[in-house]
Amino acid sequence: MTPTVRTFDVLVVGGGPAGMTAATTVRRHGGSVALIDENSDGGGQVYRPQPRGFAPAGKPSAEQRVGDRLRNALASSGADTFFEHKVWSVAPGFRVDAVGPHGPVALAAPRLVAATGTSERVIPFPGWTTPGVIGLAAATILLKAQRMLPGHATLVAGCGPLLIAVAAGIVKGGGRVAAVVDIASRGEWLGRLPALVSRPDLLARGMRWMATLQAAGVPILRRHAIREVRETSSGLDAVVGPVDPDGAPRSGETRSFTVDSVTVGNGLTPASDVSRVLRAKHRYECVKGGWVAETDDCGRTSVAGLYVVGDGAGIAGAAAAEHHGAVAGIAALHDLGRLDMTVFRHEAERMGAKLDRAGRFGRAMAGMMAIRAAQVAAIPRDTLVCRCEDVTCAEIEQAVDDGAREVNQVKAWTRCGMGPCQGRTCGDVVAEIVARRVGGREAAGYFTGRLPLRPVSLQAVVGDYVYADIPIPKAAPL
């Protein structure tokens, strides 16, 4: 049966800090709002709550406290929430279709706030599809929200602050970290210090993580990256080697670690599925993590009524996301004519200042996670790049050599990016491979946004129906 369409002033897709605050803000100023998220509660990745049924593990962390504050504010705001709902369609105007535990749901509003966060970028290496190799973000979810170790002995590799967060979490959880493999030099980290002191609490937490690793005797290999992971009879053999500042492999001693788990992440890319589907204008910004919707200070995009906030608008971190959501919430109401100019200006200024301050730390971290010029060139040619469709780097390069001029042609010719993940996993890397041959990321483009945003079965979309209820169209005149 076609679901009844429920109408609101504002729809919010995504229940992380940006989405939760956007919804709460709209309610606070008297608007009606629905928030949709596929997880079982608000929080997103950084403020992800403990599963229901788990007893609290000691004192709540700072992240849990912020998450609880945002969740409580949302719950008491009177916003309609649709958790455990996968959004599979967004349509202009706007309509959002989702499937949840009780079947399909259709929501409509003249304003749509996309707060869909990020995907993790992993630069492929031989063996990265081996079970036991997972993302750094995946490891944080295991540690924080499932209270599980990724393995008994883990190699932690990639870039950015998640490296030491994950490694310290593993050590504190009783696991062994074979090594931390960081593409950055110590000097690059020290260069970020001026921005990092803007959040002394987070800086201090980072120092505690480092102290934990030091006390456990965990080696930290700087300016190194994974070369290869091989499955052996005793687990996984992870080979790491030195790289130059651009991420190109350098000659020098490689080292091999026998572990049972590898967690690796090479930065975050904004999840722009919603704004791409709605055909907003996008711009490539390496330091923001990739292609992002063009937005003004309030998150307004080139599509009237569509706002993009949080890390989905460019990586700036969870603290900034919270204020970004608030700014977009008041802008959406103001644009609807529901908030007078004085209140709007006052609130926008107040939130904007907070956003600026909070963003300093996040943007410094985003800088540490940006893709480097030679990382993708270093991928061995027979390595799988598209995990969904098993497409190799060589096949992608061949397609460009055969005449494909941008990533959508490569997709059509090779099936890369055409699988169930819709290119979320490989998109940034594929574009980088193509960009090297066609003269830049702008020329290489991005995968056109396509529905469904998440794989859903036709049965789930249609829901329960009675065959006799299907309307029979009037026969065409003969």
Partner 1 sequence: MSSVAANDDDARAGAHGLRIGAAPRGRQVSFLFDGRPVTAYEGESIAGALACAGIRTLRASPRSGAPRGMFCMMGSCQECVVRIDGRIAPACQEPVREGLDVRSGTIGNGP
Applying CB under 8 A, the residues found at the interface with partner 1 are 38-40, 45, 50-58, 86, 119-120, 129-135, 137-139, 141-143, 146-153, 173-174, 176, 178-179, 219, 234-236, 239, 253-261, 271, 387-390, 419-421, 424-425, 454-455, 457
Backbone angles phi and psi of 264, in degrees to 5? -145, 135
For residues 146, 147, 148, 150, the Cα torsion angle rounded to the nearest 10 degrees is 90
> What is the residue type of 55?
A
Alpha helices in 149-252 (DSSP H): 162-172, 186-191, 193-196, 200-215
Q: Tell me how far apart the alpha carbons of residues 197 and 223 are, in angstroms, rounded to a whole number.
A: 24
Work out how close the CB of 129 gets to partner 1 at its nearest, in angstroms, rounded to a whole number: 6
CA nearest 452: which of 101, 1, 91, 2?
Answer: 91
Asked if 144 and 169 touch (Cβ cutoff 8 Å), the reply is yes
Q: Is the peptide bond before 110 cis (omega within 30 degrees of 0)?
A: no
Closest CB 99 distance from partner 1, rounded Å: 11
Token digits of residue 51: 């599963």
**Helices 136-145 and 162-172: crossing angle, nearest 10°?**
40
Axis crossing angle, helix 62-77 with helix 17-28, rounded to the nearest 10? 30
Give the whole-angstrom CA distance, residue 389 versus residue 87: 23
Q: Which is nearer to partner 1, 28 or 255 (CB)?
A: 255
The closest alpha carbon to 218, from 189, 257, 177, 258, belongs to 177
Question: Any residues with CB less than 8 A from the CB of 108 and at least 6 apart, and which?
Answer: 5, 6, 7, 8, 11, 93, 94, 95, 96
- Residue 414's alpha-carbon distances to 359, 432, 436, in angstroms, are 39, 16, 18
Closest CA to 97 of 448, 418, 451, 469: 451
Q: Which of 355, 356, 301, 268 is nearest to 45 (CA)?
A: 268
| Residue 146 CB, nearest approach to partner 1 (Å) | 4
* 340 CB neighbour count, 10 Å cutoff: 9
